[in-house]
C-alpha cells in the first residue's frame, strides 16, 4: 500500500477542518473496508486519512421522538442486530444482514456504506482511466456490462452498490451532514446523485463535508399512516417492510438487483407505499409507478405480478444486462406478494 | 507511486494487545494489522490470501469479533484486544475447535484453516449450540480453495453435538 498519514481527530470540528484544508489529498476513513481496497489498487491515492473513530457521539443508535438516530460510525452488524430496527424498520435490518460477510459487517459502517465507491470493474482497475476517474471514455460500453445499470445511465453506467441506502429510502430517512458551513440535513433521495449531475461522485457531499447521522422518522413525521407494528422501547412505525436481494453467490456479494418495499395499512387499505430498487440505476431507484399502483388498494386486490411489471417503466439495458429487466419484475412481484401476505 | 509524505509523519509508536500480551511497536501508518502480525510479531497463523477483504484467510478476533486483519490498519486497532490462532488453546492442548478440525479432517492444504477456526471460535463463544444454518452464516466470510467445506461444516457439527 502507498504510504499515507493517518490522523484521528478528537472532535467533529477538527475533522471538518482537516478535510477542508487539503480536500484533494485528504480522505475520510471509517471502517476502511472499501477505502483500503481502493488505495491498494491505486484507484485512490490520498496523502492523508482522517479517521472518524475518535470522535465521540458518531457511533450508536438512539431513540428520538418516535424515530431512530443512526450514527454514521455505527457498524453494519449493529444495525442488523438492533431490536428496534428489526421490529420496526425490518427492511433495513434485512439489508444489513444480507450485506457482505460477517467480518465486513463487524468493521464496515453506515456512513462508509452510503459513501462507498462504485464496483464497476473498469473503474476499479488500476490502469484504466474512465470517465469516472476523469478520463475521456466509458470502457464498459465496448466491454462487459453484466453488472451495470438498466436505467438512469448517462455517459457512465454504474449501479449504486449500497444495500442500506435502498432500505433507508423506503422509510423516508434523512441524512445529516456536517461541513465547514455547519450542519444540514436532506432527504436520502436527494443525497445520491447520478452521472448526469456529476460524473466524478455519487452523492452531493461538498469538499470538507461528511455524514454524521441518518435520521429515521417515527410515526409522527413519516407520511405513511397509523401504527401497524408496535415496536420496542416506545418506538412504533406504521409499516410492514421487506428487503430482497438477488445475487450470484449467497454471501459476500453485491446485489444484481435488490428491492425494498414498505407499506402502511389502515384496516385492509394501503394508505401509503414506498418501493426502492438497488442494482438497476446509478442511484437507489424509487419505483414510483408501483407505489402509485399500491396506494389506496385493498390488500386482497393487489396483483403482485402487475406491480412487478410496473417497476421499470423505460428500461434501457446494455449489451450484457438484459436479464436484469425480468429479474427486477420477478423480485418486485415476490416482495409485494410477501408484504401483502403479512411481510 | 512516490513516497510523497515524509516518513517521520507517517510513523507511530503504538501499544498493541495480541493474545493477552501488550507489545510496544513502531509502525508505519499504512501498515495493516496483518502486516504487523506477520512481519513484526512473527505470528504467521493469519494468512495473506487476497489482501482485499475477500477470502477470510487473515481472520482474527478484534474485541472478540472476527475481522479481516488485511483490511484494518494497525492504527485503527487502538486499545481493543486482538486474538490470533496462536492465542487459542494452551501450549500443548489444542482449542476444542482446532481439535474438532483435526479429528474430522476439516482441512486439506490448511491455508484457509486458521481463518475458519477464528470465525468458528467467535461463533461458539456467542452461541455454543448453533444450528446448521447459523454455522454456515458464521463461516460465510471464509473461502476454501480446496473445497473442504463439507468437512469443515462436519467439524463444527461434531463439536456442537459433543457439547450437548
Ligand atoms: C468482499 C466485500 C463485499 C462487500 N459486499 C457489500 C454488499 O453486499 N453490500 C454493500 O452495500 N456493500 C458491500 N461492501 C462494501 C463496503 O465494504 C461496505 O459497504 C462497508 O459498509 C463500507 O463501510 P466502511 O466504514 O468500511 O467504509 P470506508 O472504507 O471507511 O469508506 C468508504 C468510503 O466512504 C467514505 N466515508 C466513510 N465514512 C464517511 C462519512 N461518515 N461521511 C462521508 N464519507 C464517508 C470514505 O472516504 C470512503 O470513500 C463489500 C465490501 C467487500 C470488500
Ligand atoms: S460505467 Fe462508469 S465507472 Fe464504469 S467504465 Fe463506464 S464511466 Fe467508468
Ligand atoms: S487476506 Fe484478508 S480477506 Fe483475504
Ligand atoms: S483447505 Fe486448502 S484452502 Fe481450505
ipTM of the complex: 0.96
Whether residues B77 and B12 share a domain: the answer is yes
Planar angle of CA A73, A31, B41, nearest 5 degrees: 135
Spatial neighbors of A235 by CB under 8 A, at least 6 apart, are A63, A66, A67, A68, A84, A87, A88, A218
Predicted pLDDT at A230: 40
Q: Is A161 a pocket residue for ligand 1 (Cβ < 6 Å)? A: yes
Rounded Cα distance between A13 and A11, Å, is 5
pLDDT at residue A333 tops 80: yes
pLDDT at residue A139 tops 90: yes
Query: Nearest CB to A106: which of B10, B29, B67?
Result: B67
Q: Is there a domain that residue B61 lies in?
A: yes
Average pLDDT, chain A: 93
Spatial neighbors of A192 by CB under 8 A, at least 6 apart, are A160, A165, A202, A203, A204, A283, A284
Query: Nearest CB to B76: which of A32, A40, A104?
Result: A32
Q: Is there a domain that residue B17 lies in?
A: yes
Whether residues B82 and B103 share a domain: the answer is no
Whether residues B128 and B74 share a domain: the answer is no
What order of strands is seen across the sheet that includes strand A269-278? A240-246, A257-266, A269-278, A285-286
Atom of ligand 4 nearest to the CA of B110: 1
Given a contact cutoff of 8 angstroms between Cβ atoms, the answer to whether A262 and A240 are in contact is yes
Nearest CA to ligand 4 atom 4: B144
Predicted pLDDT at A232: 42
Fold assignment, A1-52: 3.30.43
Any idea which ligand is nearest the CA of B110? 4
Whether residues B47 and B119 share a domain: the answer is no
Q: How far is the CA of B57 from the centre of ligand 3 (A)?
A: 5
**CATH 3.30.43.10 location in chain A:** 1-52
Chain A hits for B13, Cβ within 8 Å? none
Number of domains in chain B: 2
Q: Is there a domain that residue B37 lies in?
A: yes
pLDDT at residue A234 tops 60: no
Q: Is there a domain that residue B127 lies in?
A: yes
The minimum CA-CA distance between B30 and chain A, rounded to whole Å, is 5
| CATH number of the domain enclosing B123 | 1.10.150.120
**Domain-terminating residue out of B39, B70, B87:** B87
Q: CB contact, 8 Å: B79 with chain A?
A: no
Q: Is there a domain that residue B1 lies in?
A: no
The minimum CA-CA distance between B8 and chain A, rounded to whole Å, is 10
The dihedrals phi and psi of A61, each to the nearest 5 degrees, come to: -120, 125
Fold assignment, A59-341: 3.30.465
Chain A hits for B4, Cβ within 8 Å? 3, 47
Retrieve residue B159's grid coordinates. Answer: 463439536
A264 vs B93 pLDDT, higher one: B93
pLDDT at residue B143 tops 60: yes
Predicted pLDDT at B61: 98
Q: Is there a domain that residue B30 lies in?
A: yes
A248 burial via Cβ count (<10 Å: 0-12, 13-18, 19+): exposed
Given a contact cutoff of 8 angstroms between Cβ atoms, the answer to whether B129 and B160 are in contact is yes
Count helices and strands (H / E) in chain A. Answer: 13, 14
Whether residues B70 and B106 share a domain: the answer is no
Among the residue ranges A187-191, A220-224, A275-279, B146-150, the one predicted with the least confidence is A220-224
Which of these, B46, B51, B82, B77, lies nearest to B65 by C-alpha position?
A: B82
**Domain-terminating residue out of B19, B53, B87:** B87
Whether residues B12 and B43 share a domain: the answer is yes
Whether residues B105 and B82 share a domain: the answer is no
Query: Nearest CB to B56: which of A29, A48, A103?
Result: A103
**CATH 3.30.465.10 location in chain A:** 59-341
Rounded Cα distance between A87 and B144, Å, is 35
Residue B75: which pLDDT band, with cuts at 50, 70 and 90?
very high
Q: Is B139 a pocket residue for ligand 3 (Cβ < 6 Å)? A: no
Rounded Cα distance between A9 and A16, Å, is 9
pLDDT at residue A17 tops 90: yes
Rounded Cα distance between A43 and A21, Å, is 22
Predicted pLDDT at B4: 57
Spatial neighbors of A284 by CB under 8 A, at least 6 apart, are A160, A162, A165, A166, A169, A188, A189, A192, A276, A277, A278
Atom of ligand 3 nearest to the CA of B71: 2
**Which structural domain, as residue segments, surrounds residue B129?**
96-163
The dihedrals phi and psi of A304, each to the nearest 5 degrees, come to: -60, -40
Predicted pLDDT at A235: 47
Whether residues B79 and B19 share a domain: the answer is yes
Atom of ligand 2 nearest to the CA of A130: 8
| CATH number of the domain enclosing B32 | 3.10.20.30
Whether residues B148 and B82 share a domain: the answer is no
Predicted pLDDT at A64: 85
Given a contact cutoff of 8 angstroms between Cβ atoms, the answer to whether B37 and B18 are in contact is yes
Whether residues B123 and B69 share a domain: the answer is no
pLDDT (tens digit, 9 = 90+) per residue, A92-103? 999 999 999 999
Predicted pLDDT at A228: 39
Among the residue ranges A95-104, A257-266, B132-141, the one predicted with the least confidence is A257-266
CB atoms within 10 A of CB B9: 14
Mean pLDDT to the nearest integer, A66-82? 95
pLDDT at residue A233 tops 50: no
pLDDT at residue A227 tops 50: no
Amino acid at each position: 500500500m502507498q504510504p499515507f498519514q493517518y490522523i484521528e481527530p478528537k472532535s467533529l470540528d477538527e475533522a471538518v477542518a482537516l478535510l477542508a484544508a487539503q480536500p484533494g489529498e485528504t480522505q475520510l476513513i471509517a471502517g476502511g473496508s472499501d477505502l483500503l481496497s481502493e488505495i491498494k489498487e491505486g484507484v485512490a491515492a490520498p496523502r492523508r486519512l482522517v479517521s472518524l473513530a475518535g470522535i465521540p457521539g458518531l457511533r450508536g443508535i438512539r431513540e428520538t421522538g418516535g424515530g431512530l438516530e443512526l450514527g454514521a460510525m455505527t457498524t453494519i452488524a449493529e444495525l442488523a442486530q438492533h431490536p428496534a430496527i428489526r421490529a420496526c424498520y425490518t427492511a433495513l435490518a434485512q439489508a444489513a444482514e444480507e450485506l457482505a460477510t460477517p467480518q465486513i459487517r463487524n468493521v464496515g459502517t453506515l456512513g462508509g456504506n452510503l459513501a462507498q465507491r462504485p464496483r464497476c470493474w473498469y473503474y476499479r482497475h488500476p490502469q484504466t482511466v474512465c470517465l469516472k476517474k476523469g478520463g475521456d471514455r466509458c470502457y464498459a460500453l465496448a466491454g462487459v456490462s453484466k453488472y451495470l445499470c438498466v436505467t438512469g445511465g448517462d455517459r457512465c453506467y454504474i449501479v449504486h452498490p449500497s444495500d442500506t441506502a435502498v432500505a433507508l429510502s423506503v422509510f423516508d430517512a434523512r441524512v445529516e451532514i456536517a461541513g465547514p458551513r455547519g450542519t444540514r440535513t436532506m432527504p436520502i433521495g436527494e443525497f445520491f446523485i447520478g452521472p448526469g449531475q456529476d460524473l466524478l461522485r455519487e452523492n452531493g457531499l461538498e469538499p470538507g463535508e461528511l455524514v454524521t447521522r441518518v435520521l429515521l422518522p417515527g410515526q409522527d413525521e413519516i407520511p405513511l399512516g397509523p401504527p401497524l407494528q408496535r415496536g420496542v422501547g416506545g418506538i412504533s412505525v406504521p409499516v410492514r417492510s421487506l428487503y430482497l436481494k438477488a445475487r450470484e453467490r449467497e454471501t459476500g456479494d453485491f446485489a444484481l438487483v435488490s428491492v425494498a418495499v414498505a407499506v402502511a395499512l389502515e384496516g385492509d387499505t394501503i394508505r401509503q407505499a414506498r418501493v426502492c430498487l438497488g442494482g438497476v440505476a446509478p442511484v437507489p431507484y424509487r419505483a414510483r409507478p408501483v407505489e402509485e399502483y399500491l396506494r389506496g388498494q385493498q390488500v386482497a386486490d393487489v396483483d403482485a405480478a402487475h406491480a412487478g411489471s410496473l417497476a421499470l417503466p423505460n428500461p434501457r439495458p446494455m449489451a450484457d444486462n438484459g436479464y436484469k429487466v425480468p429479474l427486477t419484475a420477478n423480485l418486485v412481484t415476490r416482495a409485494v406478494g410477501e408484504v401483502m401476505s403479512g411481510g | 507511486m512516490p513516497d510523497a509524505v515524509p516518513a517521520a509523519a507517517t510513523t507511530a509508536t503504538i501499544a498493541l494487545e495480541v493474545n493477552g500480551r501488550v507489545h510496544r511497536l513502531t509502525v508505519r501508518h499504512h501498515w495493516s494489522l496483518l502486516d504487523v502480525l506477520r512481519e513484526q510479531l512473527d505470528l504467521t497463523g493469519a494468512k495473506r490470501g487476497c489482501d482485499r477483504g475477500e477470502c477470510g484467510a487473515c481472520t482474527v478476533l478484534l474485541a472478540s469479533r472476527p475481522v479481516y486483519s488485511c483490511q484494518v490498519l494497525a492504527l485503527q486497532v487502538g486499545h481493543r484486544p486482538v486474538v490470533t490462532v496462536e492465542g487459542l488453546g494452551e501450549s500443548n492442548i489444542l482449542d476444542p475447535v482446532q481439535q474438532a478440525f483435526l479429528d474430522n479432517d476439516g482441512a486439506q492444504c490448511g491455508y484457509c484453516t486458521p481463518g475458519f477456526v477464528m470465525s468458528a471460535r467467535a461463533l461458539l463463544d456467542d452461541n455454543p449450540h448453533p444450528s446448521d444454518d447459523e454455522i454456515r452464516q458464521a463461516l460465510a466470510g471464509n473461502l476454501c480453495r480446496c473445497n473442504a467445506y463439507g468437512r469443515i461444516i462436519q467439524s463444527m457439527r461434531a463439536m456442537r453435538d459433543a457439547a450437548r
